[in-house]
Amino acid sequence: MLRPIVVRRIMLWSIEIFMAGMMLALVILAARILYRLDFRTRLLTIELQQEIKTREIKDNALREELDQIYRTLYAPPDTKNRQQSQVELWQLNRDRELRQRIQRLERWRYESER
């Protein structure tokens, strides 16, 4: 029969070996989790960079198209060989008449103050 001290030491060693095995398993599990997280973050950064590039390409294409629309809409009209419309003629006559009225009123005011 074994002595109680020897039995105790064997039990302590077996507990220490078990605990060391558990710690090793936890370290391996943590390393595996960290590797997976690192792999996923690298994949996500690659996907994000690709998304940024595609959005820049789409944004540039949209910006160019909107610039073209702006240039065609707000470019000065070609005035060569163009007749003025009735509305434009009416506006010019109205503006001329208003200027003449204002000038007459200013002259009348100046003469009345003298």
**Residue 108 has what pLDDT?**
93
d(CA 66, CA 68): 5
Mean pLDDT, rounded, for 30-51 = 97
d(CA 54, CA 64): 15
Task: Look up the pTM and report it.
Answer: 0.45
Write the pLDDT tens digit of every residue in 54-95: 999 999 999 999 999 998 888 776 667 778 889 999 999 999
d(CA 75, CA 16): 86
